């Protein structure tokens, strides 16, 4: 009899839990059993049809257990090992977990040869078997960004974006930028601002991206060194970049962490290929990150940075941070649901711009794939 498993499959704007055939790994392939899988902002964009990624099963953040291996898999990935999968392969465009390769929102996932052979599967200690580990990959991405921005030696950090990445950034910033860093958190909606005001982070100033936000940015002294982190969805990154360029007067370093459309450009940065800049650093390479000094249309020099994916060192650092400071991040896991409970919620998110779920703002949804595991 052919083995089967359940999967959360997207089709025609809806998410359904369907039964599918379970593949058998060969060679360097792994079969893993996801335990928790997180829903991120990029996933929501895919649900809403704002991206054309083909995978019917999404999800690239979470933890899983190895349940079967091909004959060439190394011993450190033996059956029973708790793992996370680095979703972005810097050398193989055919592996992007949850985008063009089926993701973690299902009971069994086949991890292909290139990801296993090239070290994208990282063993974890059992302490990471919890819903909090759905923050591991986004925290690693934020740490990558903050590490790049730290070279600018900023006294102020401005974070655009009130999704989970933005909220992680304002909580993690002091580990990389120092205890005296001044942080401004720019929000897209009044509901997002209200959530932050009810979940305060010491010394972080939350504000809406409106005239009040513009006035606050303009009030930052022109002698200050300012780092800007764009933790924004693809359809908002360019507008937020232009807001930073218009209103911040200090010496600027801007990290394009958020998605950006291909061939995106701005009249404020004439002749600058922003998608090229975002892709210049990938998966922790090159070792000495590339940055781009560019002139604005007014002649001001700014430093632009960008990156895709993370390296194992970022994942290890994020894992250490979650164990050391769980209370710093646990409130960001606002919803934990089974696959059956999460399917209608994801369908709701696909058809609405609202983030209200069960009367509460959704920051991070952790889907519990495996039954009878700790929260």
Q: Rounded to the nearest 5°, which phi and psi values hold at 228?
A: -120, 130
Give the helix/strand (H/E) hosting 179.
Answer: none
CATH number, domain with residue 243:
3.40.50.720
Sign of CA dihedral 325, 360, 43, 280: negative
Report the pLDDT value the prediction gives residue 319, as an integer from 0 to 100.
Answer: 97
- Residues 15-49 as b/e (b if ≥16 CB within 10 A, e otherwise) read bebbebebeebeebbbbbbbbbbbbbbbbbbbbbe
SS3 296: coil
- Into how many domains does the chain fold? 2
Q: Is residue 27 part of a domain?
A: yes
Are residues 122 and 146 both part of a single domain?
A: no
Q: How far apart are CA 185 and CA 170, in angstroms?
A: 7
Q: How far apart are CA 53 and CA 49, in angstroms?
A: 9
SS3 84: strand
Report the pLDDT value the prediction gives residue 259, as an integer from 0 to 100.
Answer: 86
Are residues 339 and 300 both part of a single domain?
A: no
Structural domain that includes position 339:
4-129+325-368
- Residue 109: both structure tokens together: 């996932």
Q: How far apart are CA 4 and CA 228, in angstroms?
A: 47
Around 85, how many Cα atoms within 13 Å sit in the side-chain half-sphere?
A: 37
Q: How far apart are CA 141 and CA 146, in angstroms?
A: 9
Report the pLDDT value the prediction gives residue 52, as an integer from 0 to 100.
Answer: 85
- Kindly list the averaged pLDDT for each block of 10 residues, start to end, along the chain of length 375: 93 94 97 97 90 94 98 97 97 95 98 96 97 98 97 97 97 96 97 97 96 97 97 94 97 94 91 93 93 96 96 96 97 98 96 92 96 54
Are residues 213 and 260 both part of a single domain?
A: yes
Q: Is residue 265 part of a domain?
A: yes
Are residues 274 and 153 both part of a single domain?
A: yes
Are residues 341 and 359 both part of a single domain?
A: yes
With 0.85 as the threshold, say if the pTM is over it: yes
Report the pLDDT value the prediction gives residue 277, as an integer from 0 to 100.
Answer: 95
Are residues 88 and 197 both part of a single domain?
A: no
CATH number, domain with residue 69:
3.90.180.10
Q: How far is CA 269 from the centre of its chain?
A: 26
Alpha helices in 303-338 (DSSP H): 312-324, 326-329
List residues bridging with 84 in a β-sheet. Answer: 122
Q: Rounded to the nearest 5°, which phi and psi values hold at 146?
A: -65, -35
Spatial CB neighbours of 108, under 8 Å, sequence gap ≥ 6: 5, 22, 23, 31, 32, 33, 67
């Amino acid at each position: 009899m052919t083995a089967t498993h359940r999967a959360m499959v997207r089709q025609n704007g809806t998410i359904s839990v369907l039964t599918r055939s379970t593949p058998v790994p060969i060679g360097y392939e792994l079969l893993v059993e996801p335990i928790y899988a997180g829903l991120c902002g990029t996933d929501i964009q895919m649900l809403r049809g704002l991206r054309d990624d083909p995978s019917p099963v999404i999800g690239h953040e979470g933890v899983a257990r190895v349940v079967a291996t091909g004959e060439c898999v190394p011993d450190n990935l033996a059956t029973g090992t708790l793992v996370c999968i680095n979703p972005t392969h810097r050398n193989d465009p055919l592996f992007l977990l949850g985008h063009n390769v089926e993701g973690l929102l299902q009971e069994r996932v086949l991890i292909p040869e290139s990801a296993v052979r090239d070290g994208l599967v990282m063993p974890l200690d059992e302490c990471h078997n919890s819903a909090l580990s759905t923050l591991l990959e986004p925290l690693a991405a934020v740490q990558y960004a903050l590490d790049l921005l730290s070279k600018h030696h900023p006294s102020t950090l401005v974070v655009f974006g009130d999704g989970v990445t933005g909220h992680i950034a304002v909580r993690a910033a002091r580990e990389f930028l120092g205890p005296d860093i001044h942080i401004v958190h720019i929000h897209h909606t009044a509901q997002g601002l209200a959530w932050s005001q009810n979940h305060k982070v010491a010394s972080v100033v939350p504000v809406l991206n409106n005239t009040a936000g513009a006035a606050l940015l303009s009030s930052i002294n022109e002698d200050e060194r300012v780092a800007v982190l764009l933790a924004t969805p693809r359809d908002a990154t360019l507008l937020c970049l232009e807001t930073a360029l218009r209103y911040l007067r200090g010496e600027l370093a801007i990290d394009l962490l958020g998605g950006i459309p291909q061939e995106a450009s701005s009249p404020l940065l004439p002749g600058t290929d922003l998608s090229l800049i975002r892709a210049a650093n990938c998966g922790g390479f090159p070792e000495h990150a590339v940055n781009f000094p560019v002139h604005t249309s007014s002649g001001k020099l700014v430093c632009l940075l960008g990156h895709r994916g993370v390296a194992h060192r970022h994942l290890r650092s994020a894992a250490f941070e979650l164990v050391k400071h769980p209370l710093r991040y646990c409130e960001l896991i606002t919803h934990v649901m089974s696959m059956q409970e999460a399917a209608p919620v994801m369908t709701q998110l696909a058809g609405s711009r609202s983030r209200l779920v069960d009367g509460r703002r959704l920051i991070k949804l952790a889907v519990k794939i495996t039954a009878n595991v700790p929260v």
